[in-house]
Amino acid sequence: MKRTGMLSIVFMLMCIVTNAQKEFKKSLSGISRIEIETGTSIFLKKGASNEIIIKEGCSNCGNEEEMDQEEFYEPEEDEKAKGLTAIYAGGEDNTGVGIYMEKDGEILRINDLKSFYKRKGLTIIVPNAVAIKMNCGNLGSANIQNITNELEINTTVGYIKLNNVTGPVTAHSSTGNIDAVFTSVNQTAPISISSSTGMIDVSLPSNTKASVELKSTMGSVYSNFNLIEPREDGLKAIGGHKSITGNINNGGVKIALKASIGNIYLRKK
Amino acid sequence: MNCKEIELRIFDYLEGQLSKQEVSQFEGHLTQCEACNRELKARKKLLDTLQVIPQEKPLPGHLDSFEQMLTREKHRLKKDDALKVQPLYWKRAFQIAASFLLLLLGYLYGEYRGTQLAHTQIVQLQEQSQQLKTNMTLAMLDNRSASKRIQAVNYSEEIKMPDNQVLEAIVGRLQKDDNVNVRLAAAASLSRFQENRLVKDAFISALETEENPDVQIAIIQFLVHIKDERSVTPMKKLLNQPEVPDYVKFQVNQGLDQIL
């Protein structure tokens, strides 16, 4: 009995230690904005404490098939690297998890130094008090949940999924789809979502006050909102001849959804 | 009798209105008082003089005309009696009407002054809000939040006649902002100024540097719309770049057909 108890305690301790190796925490006092540069997929969600927690891997983001190709990943312990430290072209690893972190006034800059192939993705937990700017590089995608502060998200090929957000949101993906579900819409600053070839699918609460601009150069626009024309002078300049503008619930903050080829879907939640 | 009583009775005495007893008392005092004697003589002289002036008599016609006038006046008074209530009523009505009129005029004047004042205030406010929007646009265009920069660009759309400072600031966003959505918003905002040289030049130079297909399309659409022939060379250059997506090249080809 005694031995089993000891063993279980040792096992628990080991678990904590290995977890601690994969996890990075930093207090965010005095920080109002986080700027993340990475090449991997990010799962970003709201945490309760006033600190940022970065964990290796993310369970519900990225392309599953690519994620499973274990051979790309560095083994936990590389025998050959013993006595050496990993150095990166992007900068110095000052966090121990292959990330360069720099505080610039109220801004915390996070630079992921590992390549897309060396990462299984990252899970980042942040308090709600900070605004987020995130660039997921060429292949990374972004999955964001329950963040009600400002979000600025850029991806190239990866998708952008925003769940239970309020804006202000500025999101762009070159070829990825963008899905956004808003729980309410912050009226202080506009929402802009654009994708070149991806689809844009946005759900808003039916009582949202907004002035909407929907434009797909070569795609179609679908909505079950009643988009009342604010006026019909029809003189809006170029580019505008294919855009749909309208107020929902008598107008409010501006929401612009723009696509080049992909369709746009604006739904009532 | 003393001197005061004598003075009061002088005229009565001269006209023979006093009783015998009063006369004897009167004359008794006169023998003793020299002053009253002098007074009596002066009064007697006055009375005598008055009697010398001949009395004016009215001409015979005057009496007739007076009688006639009297009857006429009586007749008229009788007539007026019947109408007595009427004029009073009209007068009051007029007074009330006049006060209402005065009130109305006062109200109208006040209203006029008020609207005039309000009008000038509105004009001032409009000017102020335009100035405010200009200031906000310029102040927020450098904000680190992309959403705020887009908001600044949106504000600029509400400025009727933005000055070159504002236009240049938005051109700066179109050409240099690191966020695609901000560049798109800047392109949409600048699209209003199809006649502006500064804006046209900005779009042409942006076409050479822009790499995002969405913004490229927005720029191409503007240049095609204004049919600026200077844009033909940079547009043809895009056709030869392998990294430019096919749908952008499709827009370029369509645009070139329209310009040429």
**What CATH number does residue B253 fall under?**
1.25.10.10
Q: Is residue B86 one of the residues assigned to a domain?
A: no
Sign of CA dihedral B179, B182, B187, B188: positive
| A192 interaction partners in chain B (CB closer than 8 Å) | 146-147, 150, 181-182, 184-185
What is chain B's mean pLDDT, rounded?
84
Tokens linked to A28: 């965010």
Range of lowest pLDDT (A75-89, A92-106, A108-122, B94-108):
A75-89
Average pLDDT score over residue span A79-103: 82
Each residue's pLDDT tens digit, B56-72 = 776 777 777 888 888 88
Which residues sit opposite A135 in a β-bridge?
Answer: A37, A154
Is B221–A171 a contact, with Cβ atoms under 8 angstroms apart?
A: no
Residue B239 falls inside a structural domain: yes
- Asked if B214 and A258 come within 8 Å (Cβ–Cβ), the reply is yes
Question: Is residue B169 one of the residues assigned to a domain?
Answer: yes
Residue A241 pLDDT > 60: no
Strand A107-112 with A33-37, pairing: parallel
Tell me the two tokens of residue A43. Answer: 């799962």
Q: Do B212 and A196 touch (CB under 8 A)?
A: yes
Residue window 196-215, chain B: list those with CB within 8 Å of chain A.
212-214
SS3 content of chain B, % helix, strand, coil (to 5): 80, 0, 20
**pLDDT class for B238, splitting at 50, 70, 90?**
confident
ipTM, two decimals:
0.75
Could you tell me the two tokens for A153? 């998200």
| CB proximity B187 to A under 8 Å | yes
Instruction: Supply the mean pLDDT for chain A.
Output: 80
Residue B1: band (very low, low, confident or very high) from pLDDT cuts 50, 70, 90: confident
d(CA B219, CA B160): 22
Record: contact A239-B222, CB cut-off 8 A: yes
Number of domains in chain B: 2
Q: What does the pLDDT look like over B189-210, one tens digit per residue?
A: 888 888 888 888 899 888 888 8
Predicted pLDDT of residue A67 = 45
DSSP assignment letter at A117: G
Contact B222/A at CB under 8 A: yes
Using DSSP, state whether B56 is helix, strand or coil.
coil
d(CA A192, CA B146): 9
Q: How far is A195 from chain B (nearest CA, A)?
A: 8
Between chains, do A260 and B221 touch, taking CB under 8 Å as contact? no
Res A96 pLDDT > 70? yes
In a domain, B34, yes or no: yes
Identify which of A160, A254, A157 has the alpha carbon closest to the alpha carbon of residue A215: A254
Q: Please give the pLDDT value at position A170.
A: 94
- From chain A, the residues in CB contact with B218 under 8 A are 239
Q: Which of left, alpha, beta for B178 (phi over 0: left; psi -120 to 50: alpha)?
A: alpha
Domain presence at residue B111: no
Among A218, A223, A238, A236, residue whose Cα is nearest residue A269: A223
pLDDT computed for residue A242 by the predictor: 61
A21 pLDDT band (50/70/90 cuts)?
A: very low
**Does residue B179 sit at the A interface (CB-CB below 8 Å)?**
yes
Query: How much is the pLDDT for B84?
Result: 57
Q: Closest chain B residue to A218 measured between Cα atoms? A: B247
The residue range of the domain holding B12 is 3-48
How would residue B40 be classed by pLDDT, with cut points 50, 70 and 90?
confident
**What pLDDT does B20 receive?**
83
A149-161 pLDDT, tens digit each: 999 999 998 899 9
The answer to whether the Cβ–Cβ distance between B181 and A172 falls below 8 Å is yes
What pLDDT was estimated at residue B59?
72
The answer to whether A192 contacts B218, with C-beta atoms less than 8 Å apart, is: no
- Do B153 and B187 contact (CB within 8 A), yes or no? no
The predicted model gives B172-199 an average pLDDT of 88
Q: Which of B147, B195, B199 to probe the A interface (max A CBs under 10 A)?
A: B147
Put simply, the answer to whether A189 touches B148 (Cβ < 8 Å) is yes
CB contact under 8 A, B179 and A172: yes
Q: How far is CA B42 from CA A76, B5, B48, in A?
A: 157, 17, 10
In Å, what is the CA distance from B17 to each residue of A162, A260, B10, B13?
Answer: 133, 136, 10, 6
Q: Where are the alpha helices (DSSP H) in chain A?
A: 2-22, 64-67
Q: Which of A196, A234, A236, A228 is nearest to A210 (CA)?
A: A228
Domain membership of residue B88 (yes or no) is: no
Of all residues in chain A, the one with the smallest CA distance to B247 is A261
Helix (H, G, I), strand (E, B) or coil at A228: strand
Tokens representing A64 are 């599953």
- Using DSSP, state whether B14 is helix, strand or coil: helix
Asked, for residue B129, whether it belongs to a domain, the answer is: no
**Among candidate residues A246, A230, A189, the one with its CA nearest the CA of residue B152:** A189
Q: A–B: how many Cβ contacts below 8 A?
A: 100
pLDDT, average across residues A187-205: 92
**Euclidean distance between CA atoms B162 and B175, whole angstroms:** 19
Q: Give the SS3 label for residue A222.
A: strand
Highest mean pLDDT of the ranges A13-22, A52-61, A237-246: A52-61
* Residue B70 is assigned to a structural domain of this protein: no
Judging by beta carbons within 10 Å of its beta carbon (0-12, 13-18, 19+), is residue A84 exposed, middle or buried?
Answer: exposed
